[in-house]
Amino acid sequence: MSGSEADRRIPNQHARTRSRMSIDEKTSKTLKDLGAKSPEAIGELFAGVTSALESERKALIASGAGDERERSQKVKDLRDRWLARKGGLVSLIDENWLKKAPKELKPAVGRAFNQLRQLAKCVDTESLLRELSGGAAAAQPAAVAATRGARPSAKQGRLDLTLPGYRQPLGSIHPVTQVMREIEDIFLGLGFSIESGPEIESVYYNFDALNIPESHPARDDWDTLYVNSETVLRTHTSPVQIRAMEKHGAPLYILCPGKAYRHDNPDSTHATMFHQVEGLAVDTDISFADLKGTLDYFARKFFGDKIKTNFTPSFFPFTEPSGELSISCVFCGGGGCRICKDSGWIEVMGCGMVHPEVLRHGGIDPERYSGWAFGLGVERFAMMKYDINDIQLFHQGDVRFLEQF
């Protein structure tokens, strides 16, 4: 046998061995172990994977729906088999084939891998459940189902115009928005209305009108992002209190949800942009008892009837007296844990009786009217409600996090 004949025979032997291997065996080996040295051999390998994917998906659909538990389990198994981040077949192919591919084969492997990743979307939980729960979509070849919106080419088979259209996956409402709306709903039920104000705010509304003059050391409590010497990115939603008083006068029952900005270093509890909800009630005969009663009602509506509330004295320049509302720890029930630092209580918002000077700045006569106010951090509420330990997750736009809500 001449040398060149031998060279030709070796790949064929490999090809034969490869074709006898299961998909699991193949994906646990490198391309070198599999003897796949040419773009053709790579193409053939990936074609094998695609057809395995297709037939496993078809087998699942053909196996019938079963009851709901059985259905979800089957779907989860197939999804995990292919898409699990650790040990899923697609990940293994990434690790063993793509990452370890010799340089000259990388482009071919990369291209084929990307196509496979697109196709593998047809075994995600949502599309499988949709197909299992009936619908002619089950009859679509995976290639078509996976490339929603893309037209099947002539190669993928004839175009069947009787098939249902391709559905775009539905998004969901961001958890911060959900929590904000939940808070709004509770207060709307109490007769409050919603107000908003600008995020780029004047120093006057953000500080001076709230009884925080330039000389006041409390200005340093807010790590302010200045646009220029008279303009800031609002550090809290409290300036809307003044704007609303100016606009509507008293009596006034408002809620101001919105964004606030601070020059904080991002970490698990700080973000440069975050959300607050501000509340303000101004009327004749408003007392601290109204504040306590309303906030206790709100906290129990939001966190559940079992929680207890506690008010402790605090300081804010725009309220007098000022307080901090704490709730019994939602994680340990008040017994003491790492999250409540063994105190059994978690501080959830600042509040107090509106300072007469603030009423005056809003054009309201403090001799006639009094008021109470509060301000809370929405991300913080969402973190407590859903047991989330990193505020950054809300703002990274990672679908794997967001789709859980």
Please give the residue ranges that form the binding site for ligand DAH (CB under 6 A).
Answer: 236, 238, 278, 316, 319, 350-352, 373-375
Task: State the nearest-atom distance from the C-beta of 287 to ligand DAH, in Å.
Answer: 15
Task: State the nearest-atom distance from the C-beta of 110 to ligand DAH, in Å.
Answer: 49
Task: State the nearest-atom distance from the C-beta of 266 to ligand DAH, in Å.
Answer: 18
Q: Pick the closer one to ligand DAH by CB: 278 or 379.
A: 278
Task: State the nearest-atom distance from the C-beta of 259 to ligand DAH, in Å.
Answer: 12
Q: Pick the closer one to ligand DAH by CB: 40 or 223.
A: 223
Task: State the nearest-atom distance from the C-beta of 253 to ligand DAH, in Å.
Answer: 14
Residue nearest to ligand DAH (CB): 375
Q: Pick the closer one to ligand DAH by CB: 303 or 372.
A: 372
Task: State the nearest-atom distance from the C-beta of 160 to ligand DAH, in Å.
Answer: 59
Task: State the nearest-atom distance from the C-beta of 350 to ligand DAH, in Å.
Answer: 3
Q: Pick the closer one to ligand DAH by CB: 42 or 346.
A: 346
Burial of 201 (0-12, 13-18, 19+ CB in 10 A): buried
Q: Which 3-state string (H, E, C) describes the chain?
A: CCHHHHHHHHHHHHHHHHHHCCHHHHHCCCCCCCCCCCHHHHHHHHHHHHHHHHHHHHHHHHCCCCCHHHHHHHHHHHHHHHHCCCCCHHHHHHHHHHCCCCHHHHHHHHHHHHHHHHHHHHHCHHHHHHHHCCCHHHHCCHHHHHCCCCCCCHHHCCCCCCCCCCCCCCCCCCHHHHHHHHHHHHHHHCCCEECCCCCEEEHHHHCHHHCCCCCCHHHHHCCCEEEECCEEECCCCCHHHHHHHHHHCCCEEEEEEEEEECCCCCCCCCCCEEEEEEEEEEECCCCHHHHHHHHHHHHHHHHCCCCCEEEEEEEECCEEEEEEEEEECCCCCCCCCCCCCCCCEEEEEEEEEECHHHHHHCCCCCCCCEEEEEEEEHHHHHHHHHCCCCHHHHHCCCHHHHCCC
Q: Pick the closer one to ligand DAH by CB: 127 or 370.
A: 370
Task: State the nearest-atom distance from the C-beta of 279 to ligand DAH, in Å.
Answer: 7
Task: State the nearest-atom distance from the C-beta of 25 to ligand DAH, in Å.
Answer: 60
Q: Pick the closer one to ligand DAH by CB: 46 or 222.
A: 222
Q: Pick the closer one to ligand DAH by CB: 41 or 353.
A: 353
Q: Pick the closer one to ligand DAH by CB: 92 or 349.
A: 349
Sign of CA pseudo-dihedral 133, 134, 137, 139: positive
Work out the widest C-alpha separation in the chain, in whole angstroms.
110
Q: Pick the closer one to ligand DAH by CB: 42 or 176.
A: 176
